[in-house]
A and B are shown apart, each in its own frame.
Chain A
């Protein structure tokens, strides 16, 4: 059973470009969470999704950021018109149905976004 898969592992974008980060949850998991981690800081919640639904996006910046988790395929975190301040590690986590939301979360290895 493969773990949470994120790709790419490293992504370099120029200011103004779009960044698209992918997350495939563990098999059988239907809850997906995205977190952002700045250097030397903790994990900041961004968004919680279930298949085809955004459940909680209270941590998402109001502009340029969007997330989806379609019926088929991976979850996507999309950052439009990236700026240097978007440079961070973005982690995806998944948990199984039936688990209390937020519990039993398993993390991927992250995508390290660098904006130049």
Chain B
């Protein structure tokens, strides 16, 4: 069964620090790896996504690094802010029809 393994389960970072969340996936023929951000009581929102024809994608303070040979990808949040405190999910294609989500990382940014 397709799996996406996400770590850590929770993360506490000081304001201004770098938050790093990692995901590993199993074999897949599809090339799309998004990260979702979820605030309490809200639905997940697409944050940033990468296709592995590139090794890195940056949008503002958020960067995805992708290592296709290792089947790993990570989310880096630079200059982390208290407003970034949320749960982050990585995802990878599950067959042709939908996304398989990681178990989530609860990020807390301390002022």
The chain A residues found within 8 Å of chain B, CB to CB, are 4, 6, 33, 35, 41-45, 48, 55-56, 91, 93, 100-110
Inter-chain contact B97/A55, CB cutoff 8 Å: yes
Inter-chain contact A100/B44, CB cutoff 8 Å: no
Q: Which of A33, A102, A108, A109 contacts B93 (CB 8 A)?
A: A102
The chain B residues found within 8 Å of chain A, CB to CB, are 6, 30, 32, 34, 36, 41-46, 49, 89, 93-104
Inter-chain contact A45/B100, CB cutoff 8 Å: yes
User: Which chain B residues lie closer than 8 Å to A102 at the CB level?
Assistant: 30, 32, 93-94, 96-99
Q: With A and B bound together, what is the CA distance between A41 and B101 in angstroms?
A: 10
Inter-chain contact A42/B103, CB cutoff 8 Å: yes
Inter-chain contact B43/A42, CB cutoff 8 Å: no
Instruction: Give A41's nearest chain B residue, CB to CB.
Output: B103
Q: With A and B bound together, what is the CA distance between A100 and B34 in angstroms?
A: 13
User: Which chain A residues lie closer than 8 Å to B93 at the CB level?
Assistant: 100, 102-103
Inter-chain contact B104/A41, CB cutoff 8 Å: yes
Inter-chain contact A56/B89, CB cutoff 8 Å: no
Q: With A and B bound together, what is the CA distance between A22 and B34 in angstroms?
A: 26
Inter-chain contact A107/B43, CB cutoff 8 Å: yes
Inter-chain contact B34/A103, CB cutoff 8 Å: yes
Inter-chain contact A106/B46, CB cutoff 8 Å: yes
Inter-chain contact B98/A43, CB cutoff 8 Å: no
User: Which chain B residues lie closer than 8 Å to A100 at the CB level?
Assistant: 30, 32, 93, 96
